[in-house]
Every structure is written in structure tokens, then in C-alpha cells.
Amino acid sequence: MSWKIFQVDAFADRPFAGNPAGVCLLEREAPEKWMQAVAAEMNVAETAFLVRRADGAYDLRWFTPTVEVDLCGHATLGSAHVLWEIGALSSSERAVFHTKSGMLSAWREDGMIRMDFPAEHASEAPAPPGLLSGLGVKPVFAGKNRFDWLIEVESEAAVRAVVPALPAIAAVGGRGVIVTARASSSGVDFVSRFFAPAAGVDEDPVTGSAHCALAPYWAAKLGKLALAGYQASRRGGTVHCRALGDRVVLGGTAVTVLRAELL
């Protein structure tokens, strides 16, 4: 047997930017050990595995090179992009995904893909000393949601200057840490970076699920519901956000860079 597999640069308007995601289309659920091995072989931040249901929706799971994760934005964006690109869904159809974080959906609007995701509010909490020393920052705010630590620092320059001590960050527990600040660059409201060495991703290029925390956080601070966030990794990418209470809408574009057959 063989399976179609793609590599998509998500939250990108050109190849070799944004965050690369694997997208593997399956006829039926595959063994977890096999999916993990495929994700390790793809060696990108996440690889998505999709199985179509009889009603046209999809079961969707995400794996890093080392672990399965409960929520992933860029690989969901990549999955929807592939389904429309290959004609598995018509351009006007909404992509519906059943996941470990509930039902997610994606649609086309204003020249981008929009996705309906759960808001992941961060509650204020004292950051572990090892985390702050590992980041080398003094926080304006420290908080945590079910996945990650959220650390606000004083400036965009401070976000960009972080050189993380990855073993210290991995030892803190949880999935990872978001470092963010109000933007000084034009055209965006806030900037961020995301480190998840405990999940096998030292620095993620553009993290959709991190914006499930960033969107409500910055909406409350800036007094606006529609925001743009730039993730200041080496590859970089912009995530357009709408904060809607217990949900967020994330938006971006994607480019397919690889189509292959997995043997």
C-alpha cells in the first residue's frame, strides 16, 4: 500500500518560509507507532494524519518527531490547504476536523484560510526560576494554560534577543514556552517566539496553537478583538487573529512545497 504525503509551508506566502508541516492522507486509522515513525522521518515540527469520515469530515491527529500533541495550528492550516488543493473538498466547502481538542473547522475568506480554534487562556502564575534563567529575561507577566507557559517581556527587541537554554526549558514541564511583547514593528500588534524542546521542537517557526493564548491575552491588553501577531523565528510568519471569548479565529496562507508517495 501507499499513502499520499505532502509538505506545506503554513503561515507563509512563499516557499521556504513560515512553518513546514507534513500532511498524510490515510484511508483508515493507522497504528500510533507507525504515525510516530512517519513524523520522525518527516522531521518537521508536526505531521498531520487525516482519515475521512463517511459524512465528509476528517479525523485529524498531529505528531512532532517525538510525541503526539493535542492541538496544532499550522498543520491544521496545511491540512485544509491540501484538501482544497487536491479537490478532496470544493473551494466553497468548510473543512471539518475531529481532534483531541474537539471539533475544529477551516474555511477560505479574504484571500486566506481561517480556522476556528479553542481559546487557551493563560492564568497568571509564578514562573519557575529555571524557566526565567533559561530564557534570560525579566517578565512583565508570567502565566500558564493547559499546554504552555506565557511570558511577556518588555519589548520586541527583548523577544528577538532571547537565546534559550533548552535543557532548562525542557526541565520545566508542559509542552513549551511562549515569549511575547507588544510590537514595535509596523503592521502587527505583537510579536512572539515559541520553544518546545520537551516535545522535540527546539524553536517552532510559527505556532498557531500558541496564538490561541496570545490572541485573548493581547486582545485584553490592547482593547481590540482583531489582531496580527508576528512570530519572530528565523523563518518567521504572521498569524491573523480574532478573539471571540472561548474561541479564536486564526488566519494565514500556505504553500505546498512537496507532494510524494509514502511507500
Q: Taking a C-beta distance cutoff of 8 angstroms, is the pair 67, 45 a contact?
A: no
Rg of the Cα trace of the chain?
18
Cα dist from 92 to 47, 88, 116, 179, 207, whole Å: 25, 12, 16, 36, 26
109 in catalytic set: no
Q: Which residue has the cell 517557526?
A: 205
How many CA atoms lie within 13 Å of 229's alpha carbon, on the beta-carbon side?
A: 38
C-alpha 204/C-alpha 188 separation (Å) is 19
Q: Which of 27, 29, 32, 46 is catalytic?
A: 46
158 Cα distance to chain centroid: 22
The residues carrying an active-site annotation are 46
